[in-house]
Amino acid sequence: MVDLRAQYEKLSPEIDSAIKSVIDSTAFIKGPDVKLFEEELQKYMGVRHVISCANGTDALQLAVRVLGLNPGDEIITTNFTFIATAEVVALLGLKLVLVDPDPGTFNISVEAIRKAITPKTRAIVPVHLFGQCADMESIMELAKLNNLFVIEDAAQATGADYFFSDGSVKKAGTIGHIGTTSFFPSKNLGCYGDGGALYTNDDNFAKKLRSIANHGMKVRYHYDDIGVNSRLDTIQAAILRVKLKHLSRFNETRQAVADFYDEAFAGCLPVIVPERSKYSSHIFHQYTIKVRNSKRDELKKYLESLKIPSMVYYPGPLHMQEAYRHLGYGENDFPVTKELCSKVLSLPMHPDMEQDQLDLITSSILKFFDNSI
């Protein structure tokens, strides 16, 4: 699905020297590269604060913690996401309220959020799924009207732009009260292990987040908050500094790959290509098609037989997972999620795809449908 080896080979002189310089300095924890990476990412994102941490799940957990909510307070998020988004809400003893996504963009439905708001709702967590922003302008309006916090899970959308109706543009993750991201190796901006970060324009949140991520310490050996140890390793920060310089180019190449897929499938009725919204750029963390006529699993098997990878993100709705049965949802409470789980298929997508790979993938899919209809 991704080719991390090909990417490393192209960047190896820069990456190797960045890693070597950290080893030479022995500044493995909180070395200069961590601060420099935060400053460079802050500039790229156009946000006041970037706080790095150990991974994207920690980033979400820190973001929810810093809101200072009480047990029983409700947080609304999408049922069609990676488990981490929902997991941290449950882990912190808050009430997880799941809602359906929009069937076209796969992102949280604003109408569904509106219907789920109760007097106990405190926050909304939109996820910019597969590399395209959720409808943030409407979500922020709804949040303002109901006095709610917004935490954006931007793990899959580093570099995506949101276009406001007044013409202004902001990066995914910098619109809500707090944004979070992951530097998992396969992400658009990925390191060589685990890593994550938080974005905020709020000075108080930034101070508190920095403190909680570092054992609750503001001044050395003085603990104002009960914290955790969630730091980005210096070696990962050094790698991310190299990769950040190439991020815009990587994202543009992903868009060119997506354009090729779109064009190839234009006349193929059983394949529905990913919808592109007018309010967001799409940086294609995943290129996810919907397959009509219950042929998804058959297509996946056929591709497998040709050694072409494909993945189902996500095969089962969160509310039906064993760990979340206690929420009390019924099997058919989320018709859109249910339908998407049975139809979506993500195709190989990364910035180092070769034309012959793209030709093989698209011609194989077209051939499958020629023969199967």
Ligand X SMILES: Cc1ncc(COP(=O)(O)O)c(C=O)c1O
Count of residues interacting with ligand X (CB under 6 A):
15
Binding of ligand X by 153 (CB under 6 A): yes
Q: How far is the CB of 181 from ligand X (least distance, A)?
A: 8
By beta-carbon proximity to ligand X, the closer residue of 74 and 153 is 153
Only one of the segments 15-23, 51-59, 71-79, 261-269 lies at the binding site for ligand X (rule: CB under 6 A); that segment is: 51-59
Among 37, 82, 287, 302, binds ligand X (CB under 6 A): 82
Read off the tokens for 252: 């543009």
What residues does 133 pair with on adjacent strands? none
Q: Which stretch binds ligand X (CB under 6 A): 10-18, 79-87, 138-146, 255-263?
A: 79-87
Nearer to ligand X, 63 or 155 (CB): 155
Which window, 9-17, 49-57, 107-115, 362-370, contacts ligand X (CB under 6 A)?
Answer: 49-57
| 178 is a site residue for ligand X (CB under 6 A) | no
DSSP, res 325: G
Q: Which is nearer to ligand X, 71 or 315 (CB)?
A: 315
Nearer to ligand X, 85 or 362 (CB): 85
Q: Which amino acid is at 191?
A: C
96, 127, 212, 242: residue in contact with ligand X (rule CB under 6 A): 127
In this structure, how many other beta carbons lie within 10 angstroms of the beta carbon of residue 74?
20
The nearer residue to ligand X, 56 or 159, going by C-beta atoms, is: 56
- Pick the closer one to ligand X by CB: 197 or 299: 197
Alpha carbon 53 to its chain's center: 15
226 bridge partner residues: none
Report the residue from 52, 61, 79, 81 that binds ligand X according to the rule CB under 6 A. 81
In this chain, which of 7, 52, 57, 288 binds ligand X, going by CB under 6 A? 57
Which among 33-41, 150-158, 273-281, 355-363 is the span making contact with ligand X, rule CB under 6 A?
Answer: 150-158
Contact 341, 241 (CB under 8 A): no
How many DSSP H helices and E strands does the chain contain?
A: 12, 14
Question: Are 84 and 227 in contact, with CB atoms under 8 Å apart?
Answer: no
Residues between 184 and 243 that touch ligand X (CB under 6 A) = 184, 194, 196
Please, which residues have CB within 8 angstroms of residue 339's CB and are 6 or more apart in sequence?
103
Q: Which of 85, 109, 121, 251 binds ligand X (CB under 6 A)?
A: 85
CB of 54 to ligand X, least distance (A): 8
Torsion of CA 265, 171, 239, 212, to 10 degrees: -130
Residue 289 near ligand X by CB under 6 A: no
Q: Nearest 5°: CA angle at 324, between 122 and 343?
A: 100
CB of 228 to ligand X, least distance (A): 14
Cβ contacts of 55 within 8 Å, gap of 6 or more:
182, 183, 184, 194, 195, 196, 230
Which secondary structure element, helix H or strand E, spans residue 290, and what is its range? Answer: strand 287-291
Residues 197, 203, 209, 211, Cα dihedral to 10°: 130
Q: Which secondary-structure segment (H or E) carries 97? A: strand 95-99
d(CA 60, CA 42): 18
Interface ranges with ligand X (CB under 6 A): 55-57, 81-82, 84-85, 127, 153, 155-156, 182, 184, 194, 196
